[in-house]
Amino acid sequence: MIETRELSVVLGRRQVLSEVSLTVARGEWLAVIGPNGAGKSTLLRAIMGLVPRAGSVLFDGAPLDRPRERARRVAFAPQTPALPADMTVFDYALLGRTPYIPYLGRESRRDRDVIASVLDRLDLTELAGRRVENLSGGERQRVVLARALAQEAPVLLLDEPTTALDLGHQQQVLELLDRLRLGDGLTVVTTLHDLSLAGQYADRLLLVADGRAVASGKPVQVLTEELVGRHFEAHVKIEPGPDGRPVVHLVRGR
Ligand SMILES: Nc1ncnc2c1ncn2[C@@H]1O[C@H](COP(=O)(O)OP(=O)(O)OP(=O)(O)O)[C@@H](O)[C@H]1O
């Protein structure tokens, strides 16, 4: 479904991403993890063609170069997008329907129904008429996600979709993504800082450090005390959680 081959990015004079190759199958969830500044966001932006890149990106074996075509196939929720002033939550989410609305045309009944359903699933119905600039951090994050889900694209690329969310909303968003990929076969790629959450929800993890893919595999293969300790420079204890997947604990220093 998504394949990158030796994807590299230079920003300014810095090599920010170096020859990252990955494959994500239909219906699979890949979590990209790594320390601050490792290149995780840049990897997603490079897949979207938002930064100059070397190497190739294929969706179902083909490059998707035309923006409207790509928008129907891939939805991207950046980490901290600039939200327009003077726009309601409903209208902002409606931007996700742009690839389906004819030039100079208006949204259809179905477009409005899709938005209503997405807002409902993200607990945003009561905020539909509010202006986006007045929302709290967690509300904004869910609105950005709503716009991405409204695209109804088979591939979702989400940069840190849960950082600003309280525990209940984190679970709501992650469970929603899980249902979408298991039920509708969506392919999900997220960056996630919470390693335990990454290990709990993703099928596979890709550990990026210093712009390179340094490990990838099932959560239990990547979330090891040795790999996490070395690349995050953290002292951690990793144990199997209730479902057998690894849970990462910080060890308090003395
Ligand atoms: N325009 C730019 N010019 C030079 N360096 C840049 C530019 N944009 C980003 N970088 C650098 O690229 C590196 C990777 O950034 P990126 O945002 O991809 O990291 P990240 O892994 O997502 O980090 P975080 O966990 O902090 O969000 C960082 O060191 C950043 O400072």
Domain span at 28: 2-250
Calculate how far, in angstroms, residue 118's C-alpha sits from the geometric centre of ligand 1: 31
- Please give the pLDDT value at position 236: 96
Better-scored residue on pLDDT, 63 or 25: 25
Please tell me if the CB atom of residue 34 comes closer than 6 angstroms to any atom of ligand 1.
yes
Number of structural domains in the chain? 1
pLDDT one-digit tens code per residue, 72-90: 899 999 987 888 889 999 9
Residue nearest to atom 27 of ligand 1 (CA): 36
Which atom of ligand 1 is least distant from the CA of 16? Answer: 12
- Please give the pLDDT value at position 254: 61
CATH number, domain containing residue 17: 3.40.50.300
Q: Is the pLDDT of residue 102 over 90?
A: no
Please tell me if the CB atom of residue 190 comes closer than 6 angstroms to any atom of ligand 1.
no
Please tell me if the CB atom of residue 41 comes closer than 6 angstroms to any atom of ligand 1.
yes
pLDDT one-digit tens code per residue, 29-77: 999 999 999 999 999 999 999 999 999 999 988 888 888 788 889 999 9
Mean residue pLDDT across the chain: 93
Calculate how far, in angstroms, residue 115's C-alpha sits from the geometric centre of ligand 1: 32
Q: Structure pTM?
A: 0.94
For residue 69 the two structure tokens come to: 């075509």
**For ligand 1, mutation pick of 8, 9, 10, 14 (most atoms within 8 Å of CB):** 14
pLDDT one-digit tens code per residue, 120-150: 999 999 999 999 999 999 999 999 999 999 9
pLDDT one-digit tens code per residue, 151-202: 999 999 999 999 989 999 899 999 999 998 998 899 999 999 999 999 999 9
